[in-house]
Amino acid sequence: MTVRFLVTAGPTREYLDPVRFISNPSSGRMGYAVAEAALRAGGRVTLVSGPVALVPPAGVRLIEVETAEEMRRAVRDEAAGADVVVMAAAVADYRPARRSRRKLKKGPSSLSVRMVRTPDILAELGRRRGKALLVGFAAETGDPAREAARKLAQKGLDLVIGNDVSRRGSGFGSGFNEAVFVGRNGECERLPRMRKERLARLIVRRCLALRGSGAGGRTRTGTPA
């Protein structure tokens, strides 16, 4: 049976005014690589993408979004029909509380901006999950394994891929990643630095193995992959 993948990729933009926004350096390459790897593995792939300068793999269904709220709505609409959800997007945690309709002019003094939380899309998926396997990412600036384990437990995920984005030549804006796989049964596998395309294939392979072992959904009876 064809496995249905839902993959998110890229950054979000949270606007302060019509010409200024808060974002991050995510290029989307990791999520796009996962989408292509899933497609090559025989999956049916929907890719929800923030603004990136990438061409989507031929054969994927692309949904383009900008803000965290737009990504939330797209993921919510698509998750019910997915077997595997891979949240590789770097979604902004905060947005300006007020978005000006006009460009903010330079003033004589400093500018203070009140920020509010954006939706936690992964946590929402974890709370109302069905049978889908849920995979998250933890982009950190220290040891990613601890944060990946916390995120996995707190949000009810099946697998978290952690990586240290402060390492030169790895993570945001790079073609490489140095990652750690943290699974819900306590397994922790550290991987060497590798191209994102190769890491994507390992992620898809792990997802398919977890599905084959009975992982995913509310039943927690699978064996470590």
What is the set of active-site residues?
A: 24
14 is written with which tokens? 């949270």
Nearby residues of 214 by Cβ (< 8 Å), 6 or more positions away: 221, 222, 223
Instruction: For residue 87, report the phi and psi dihedrals to the nearest 5 degrees.
Output: -95, 85
Angle formed at CA 64 by CA 63 and CA 67, multiple of 5 degrees: 125
Residue 124 in tokens:
């929402």
- DSSP secondary structure code for residue 195 in this structure: E
Quote the CA–CA distance of 30 and 37 in Å, as a whole number. Answer: 10
Kind and range of the H or E element at 177?
strand 176-177
Radius of gyration of the chain from Cα atoms?
Answer: 18
Look-up of token digits 């193995």: 209
CA-wise closest residue to 161 among 222, 210, 217, 223? 210
CB 103 within 8 A of CB 18: yes
